[in-house]
Structure 1
Amino acid sequence: MSEGVAQLKHEGSRRQVVVAGAVAGLVSRFVIAPLDVIKIRLQLQVHSLSDPTSYRGLNGPVYKGTLGTLKQILHEEGLTGLWKGNIPAELLYLTYGAVQFSAYTNISHMLDTIPAPYTLPSSATSFLSGAAAGAAATTATYPLDLLRTRFAAQGNDRVYTSIAASVRSIAQHEGPMGFFRGLGAGVSQIVPYMGLFFASYESLKPIMANSPLPLPLGSSDAVAGIVASVLSKTAVYPLDTTRKRLQVQGPSRKRYVHRNIPTYTGVLMTLRHIWKHEGRRGMYRGLTVSLLKAAPASAVTMWTYERAMGIMLALDEKVEE
């Protein structure tokens, strides 16, 4: 077992792992909330810069670039527009972080018990543990993810007036499966993403820790988290766009900021439609802001998790003394 794996797992209790993961998710969400709203708005935009759109009679797309989207949201919806969907998102990140790190720790410990000669290399353990933890956390928290997307997608013409109203509306008009629209794309995305992220993170962390050069942010955890996140996010980004497009399907589809979102019925159909009508740019629309979001989110998540776990372990030592 590599030093990186041992450091990430720590020897804390299950409760400490859950608390540290939850705190890490909560803090990272607070930091990147505005970038998340901008990313979702860009991902749901189906027109390129040269195509017409029916939104308010404008010629061209609703948003033009990351800064243009930021300025337009501030102008039309005010500062609070950048935090739309923040309540379900906070619940999502809080729960997701706890489930993710708990599952990662338990699964990796289980894989470490495999006897020789079937023992897995540390990189395989990290990949499998990260992929399984990501799939479990994504499935458990998916309804919150869907609510986050729908709230972030609505402009001044509010589709849902509250979280309770959104839950009632989806349950009434779409049924229980309405809360899981796009889950296939979510799991298909998160399995390779988390596997690649944790494998990259565990490989990069000892390298960054021994770097002879001073690191930005002053932490090898943060730098390793940034690099691992950028590599993983870029690889699976088309599936993230697919998930967002599927999440806003339903009877309220034409009431969001983008009134012209096509009807999609599955992951493969959505991918084919985006590629055929929007090309590669459509697959990666919003990637720039996504990477800007992913870097601080992952850095803050990993840094906060390590520090929270360290504090709890230190407190335990003092209590024992």
Structure 2
Amino acid sequence: MSGGGVAQLKHEGSQRQVAVAGAIAGLVSRFVIAPLDVIKIRLQLQVHSLSDPLSYRNVQGPVYKGTLGTLKQILREEGLTGLWKGNIPAEALYLAYGSVQFSAYTYMSHLLEAIPQPYTLPSTVDSFISGAVAGACATTATYPLDLLRTRFAAQGRERVYPSIVASVRHIAEHEGPRGFFRGLGAGVSQIVPYMGLFFASYESLKPVVASSPIPLPFGTSDAAAGIIASVLSKTAVYPLDTTRKRLQVQGPMRSRYVHRNIPLYSGVTSTLLNIWKNEGRRGMYRGLTVSLIKAAPASAVTMWTYERAMALMLTLEEKLTDD
């Protein structure tokens, strides 16, 4: 993007260019953070307490201890490919999610900007609403892929589903259409404040970070602003992310995942209360460290790639027009 910065994010490019740039950003981001995503999901699904040996005395399956410990254990027991389990549905998820997210964001921004005076909204409120709507639309549209990503990442050495096609058939046959949307309530409840806070923080931080005398990563304020906004937003809504993961692995195959003792949950509120009661605050935030480690490069790469892809397309369009 040119020197106008992120304030122009919603103004530059056609809807198709926005969709393409968002999709490219999603794919690149997913490739970079895939192993961290698997580690995070494994930690989120672990219900036994590391401080209480009695909680996992009779547990079949691994007991993960921290980000590095989980990484080493997956490599030792499942090999390098274990870190990319669920990558195919995840790549499809990020491709579709990035495209829908940025398209919905720019579309909603244009609608809000069309509001006549004196009813126009402050730019921060505009960004929050646009980000929240974009997140809700993208989450709902791509949720079945998110569920498949989680279920494949939760598989240990035993293959619960032999292939993506087999998993779709099994879920459709044994769980029905609703099976593809287990935990959607938690997903939307999480993503609305997350994306709203992320875009509002991102657009507010961009001019501040741009004027910083400190050298910025990648030589741009896009990545730095993306990192800060993502960390703040992710921490605020993390318990809902854990709830979503726990609900996504419910169903007839629940006892066959790498963690054999995942409890039976139903509903967002009851799941949150169950985790709080039986696992405490640590249970709500299990995997937060690796999630924040993941969030920083993911958001930085996403926003940096989006800005560069959009700038490239605009440059090519300008050259073609001139010719």
The letter of the residue matching 2:123 is S
Partner of 1:194, secondary structure, is helix
**Alignment match, 1:237:** 238
Separation in 2, partners of 1:223, 1:168: 43
TM-score with structure 2 setting the length: 0.96
**Alignment match, 2:200:** 199
Separation in 1, partners of 2:57, 2:275: 16
**Alignment match, 1:82:** 83
**Alignment match, 1:300:** 301
- Shift of residue 4 of structure 1? 5.4
**Alignment match, 2:20:** 19
- Shift of residue 27 of structure 1? 0.3
CA displacement 1:213-238 (0-9 Å, x = unmatched):
21133220000000000000000000
**Alignment match, 1:54:** 58
- Alpha carbons 2:7, 2:203 under 8 Å: kept: no
- Alpha carbons 2:127, 2:203 under 8 Å: kept: yes
Separation in 1, partners of 2:272, 2:57: 21
CA displacement 1:1-54 (0-9 Å, x = unmatched):
xx6554212421111000000000000000000000000000000011122243
CA displacement 1:120-160 (0-9 Å, x = unmatched):
00000000000000000000000000000000000011100
- Map 1:34-53 to 2 at 5 A: 34-49=35-50, 50=52, 51-53=55-57
**Alignment match, 2:124:** 123
**Alignment match, 1:71:** 72
**Alignment match, 1:291:** 292
Gaps of 5+ in 2: none
- Alpha carbons 1:104, 1:132 under 8 Å: kept: yes
- Map 1:150-299 to 2 at 5 A: 150-299=151-300
- Shift of residue 208 of structure 1? 1.1
- Alpha carbons 1:53, 1:260 under 8 Å: kept: no
Partner of 2:252, secondary structure, is coil
Partner of 1:264, secondary structure, is coil
Report the RMSD for the aligned CA atoms in angstroms: 1.1
Partner of 1:314, secondary structure, is helix
- Alpha carbons 2:6, 2:222 under 8 Å: kept: no
Separation in 2, partners of 1:151, 1:211: 42
> May I ask how many residue pairs the two structures share in their alignment?
316
The letter of the residue matching 2:58 is S
Partner of 2:277, secondary structure, is helix
Separation in 2, partners of 1:29, 1:281: 27
Separation in 1, partners of 2:141, 2:57: 36
Separation in 2, partners of 1:67, 1:87: 24
Separation in 2, partners of 1:289, 1:5: 27
- Alpha carbons 2:132, 2:192 under 8 Å: kept: yes
- Determine whether 1:319 maps to 2:323: no
Separation in 1, partners of 2:215, 2:262: 47
- Alpha carbons 1:32, 1:296 under 8 Å: kept: yes
- Shift of residue 318 of structure 1? 0.6
CA displacement 1:81-138 (0-9 Å, x = unmatched):
0000000000000000000000000000110010011000000000000000000000
Separation in 2, partners of 1:154, 1:219: 39
The letter of the residue matching 1:80 is T
**Alignment match, 1:101:** 102
